[in-house]
Each structure stands twice: as C-alpha cells, then as structure tokens.
Amino acid sequence: MIAQIATAAAALAFLVLAGLACRAAVRIRHLRKDTEARQATALLLHRLARRPTNGTADAQRLRRIEEALAGGFPDSAVEAARTVASTGSIPVAERLSLLRKVARWQDADEQAPARIGRVQFDIVVVSHFGLPGGTTSANEAEIKIWHEQGLTVGLLHHPVYDWGPNAPVHPRIRALVDAGAARLIGDEAEVECGLALVRLPIVMMRPLERRPAIRAGRTAVLVNQTPFKYYGETGPREAAWDVATVARNVEEWLGRPVWYAGGPCVLAALREHHAEETVGLDLADEPWNEVIAVDDWRLPGRREPDCRVRIGRHSRDHELKWPRDPEVLLACHPDRDPFEIHVLGGADIPARTLDGLPANWTVHEFNAVGVREFLAGIDVFAYFIADDGLEAFGRAPLEAMAAGVPVIMDPRFAPTFGPAALYCEPGEVAAVAERLAADPAAYAAQRSAAWDHLERHFSARALMERVSRCAPSAQPRQRTAPSSDRHRVPAGVDDRG
C-alpha cells in the first residue's frame, strides 16, 4: 500500500512539473529581480552550501536547482526538477516541496513586467565577478581606470553554471559598485554600449538563460584562459572550454566579436594548437594585457638586508601553479642556507610533491596576509609552474613587479613580461637570487626596468589606447569630481586572491 501511495505521489509530482514546464517557456523570460535582493539571496545560498548536509548527492541536486532558479538558469532548474520529480530515492515530501518552490517562482515570473527600460554604458563587462583570484583582480583594475577616465561601466555578473549557478559577487567588486565606479546590470534590462567585453570565455559555454538584451557597437572576447589546461609534448589535455561553442553563443547574444588573447603565451597557444578552430575568427594580433596601478603597489624600499635571502611566491595552490618534478621544485625553492622560502596562498601541492615541506618554508594560507604586506617581507619573487602548464598571464608576478620586488621566472614568460623580469632555468634561481640580494645597484636597476616596462605596456594609458583602437565610440570624457566619500573608489590592493 505504501509503495502504491509513493508511486502515485511521484506520478502526481511529475504531472505537476510537466504543467509548470509547459508554462516556463513563456514565463521564464519575464521575471524581474531586484539586484540587492538577488545578491542577498546569493550570499545566503553560498553560506548554506557550505553547511554540513547528509552528504547525499540528492541533497546537492535539490540545492543546485534552487540556486539555478535564483542565479539566472531557470530552464536548467526546471529540467533538473523534472528529473528529481521521478527520482525514487528522494522522499516524496522533499520532491513536492521543491515543486512548490518552482511553482511559486513561476507565479512571480508570470506577474512580472517585461523589460524595464533602456540603459546606456560606454563599456559593459560580462564576466564571473565572484572569483577570488586573478580574474577579479583584472576586472577590478580596469573598472577603476575606466571610471577615472570618465567612462560609464556596466557589469553583468555571469556565474559558471558548473561552479555554482548563483555565486555571489566578490566584495571587492561590490565595493566598486557601491562607490559609483560601475553599475550591476539586471537581467531584464535593455542595454546599449560602445563595447561589450567578455572576460573569461568559459562563462559562455552555458550562457545565462535569463539575461539582458545587449546591443553593442563592438564586442570583444578576452581569452584569459586557454581552451585546455595543459599543453605538453603529447598535445593538449583537460579541456576547459570549446572555441566553437563560445564563439556561437557570444555572436548570437552580443554580435560578432574580436578575440583578444590574454597575453602572448595564450596567443601562441591559440595559433599553434587551435588553428583550425580559430580560422574563421577575428583574432587580434595584439594581446589584451592586464593593467596595474604601479603607484598603488610601489614599496618605499626593499627589505632590510640580514644575511638571509627570502624567496617569495604568491599564487593559488593548484597543481598547474607548481613544478611537478621534486628536483625542479627544490631547485626553484632551495632548501639550504641562506635561503628562506615564503609562500602566500597555501602549499598543499608542493607538500605532496616533496612528501613534506622543508624546514625553511613559511606558508601563509590564502588571504591570510595582504599581498602588498607579503611582498614587503621578501627579497625576490620566484615563479615557475608545471612543465606542461600554460599560464594565461600571471597576475601575481605582475603585482610583485609593481611593488618593486625583482621577479625571477621561467623563460616561457619572457614574451609576456620582457625586461620587467629576470629569466633562468630552475637550477639557476639560487645564484640569481643571491646576486640580486648582494648587489644593491643590480637590485635597484631591476626595479626600475620593471616599473618602466609596466608603464609602457600594463598601465592605464596602455589600456585606454587599446580600448580606443577596439571601440572608438568608447572615448573618455571629462568627469565631474566626486561630491562625497561614497563615490571614492577604494584602493583594495591588499586583499587580492
């Protein structure tokens, strides 16, 4: 008897959802969400996602459906709910509760007005504004510059569905919005802009199903992540995104784009490994270099010499970011006097590689120390990654250069940073670091060389010249000085992930 009741309930649930799904095609286009309420919901769901659960995949599926509804993926939510409705392992009460939530969402959707009016911006950035690392830092830096140059900037927060469909906006981006440097775009807006810039192409593998209409004078895709994670002797492996899919989705929504590599290494990878896929694309010859405000990072002087040589490193603790070979790893980070190894961002990967960390390592977890404060406590910055890894750019070494800390790098980075860094093989790192630490003139010369190169290639001026070439209509105008503290753009340089 119980089995019959359960079966009947499941069948009823399926029929209810089927009816909801039929209405969704029309309703799904009309929900108007208040931006602040949406962000509050996103933060709540983000906290709930971190709470302990019963550990079942079913519980995670239920939570993902609710996140998809709130985050701009209602079609996917309805489709997933249809599957859940017929999943016998989930209690009937939970399935019916989920269906009621979907029904309430669609009732609100049916009552919502159509698009709320047209807004205009000079630049609209479509990106994942909730990430803790380099993408957010790059977005933050460019938003500040555009605002200071008098450009109006719109931000469309576009989570990556598989990473969390309702991920909240990062507090540093939120601070820029609160300061008046940019404006978040609601999903029911009609937008006109001089330039629509997609940063992080993986977001367009699965575009928002609830998104604003954007009419752009020019569209650009900034490839700050290669289509594959690794490019070794045997070819690419571990796909991240697909060129054809992203190209199709961008063009259908925003118009045919110009593609900009996020650095010379990415441009070389696209031409060498993805020539057939990019043959029909408008791929720019110049990369879209990141920018940095050197004056915000510049340290007043170097660390006081004490007969020790502190080699520092700051990055995400990911296998791509570290050499895989233990001998290479130790060569880059010598485990002998007079060296000290200081790491910001965690070191679980090297700990596994070396079966434990040497005694001369000091490790700070992610965001445990401000980046500028960390850089002030080291003598040189060493940056070597996995042999088959391809770093799209390298925000962390750029910050070290801006701070005035000499950077020692793998020669693969030479096309990106030129004379702003020193290049050598792993076995030469110790000698180069000792020479710099012992020679104040050489140390000062490298600082100056880095600052000069950054001013010419990674500055606000370089960015604005690139924007002018890409989208002539997005020209700076005279901006009225801010009238209150609320409109002062926060510095925010020390909490970068």
What predicted TM-score, i.e. pTM, was given to this entire model? 0.79
pLDDT for the residue 274: 94
pLDDT for the residue 36: 46
pLDDT for the residue 108: 81
The H or E element containing residue 343 is strand 339-344
Burial zone of 484 (CB within 10 Å; 0-12 exposed, 13-18 middle, 19+ buried): exposed
Which tens digits make up the pLDDT trace of 165-182? 999 999 999 999 999 999
Helices (H), 149-263: 171-178, 243-254
Return the residue matching tokens 């970068």. 496
Tell how strand 361-364 and strand 380-383 pair up.
unpaired
Q: What is the 3-state secondary structure (H, E, C) of 174-190?
A: HHHHHCCCCEECCCCCE
Taking the alpha carbons at both ends of the chain, their separation in whole angstroms is 57
| DSSP code per residue over 53-71 | ----HHHHHHHHHHHHHHH
Q: What is the 3-state secondary structure (H, E, C) of 398-417?
A: HHHHHHCCCEEECHHHHHHH
pLDDT for the residue 232: 78
Structural domains of the chain in order of their starting residue, each with its CATH number: 2-111 (no CATH), 118-283 (3.40.50), 295-457 (3.40.50.2000)
pLDDT for the residue 115: 64
Return the residue matching tokens 């980046």. 371
The H or E element containing residue 238 is strand 235-239
User: How many other β-carbons are positioned within 10 Å of the β-carbon of residue 244?
Assistant: 11
Which tens digits make up the pLDDT trace of 340-379? 999 999 999 999 999 999 999 999 998 889 999 999 999 9
Q: Which parts of the chain sit beneath pLDDT 50?
A: 1-6, 8-9, 12, 14-17, 20-55, 478-488, 490-497
pLDDT for the residue 17: 47
CA 346, 347, 352, 355 dihedral sign is negative
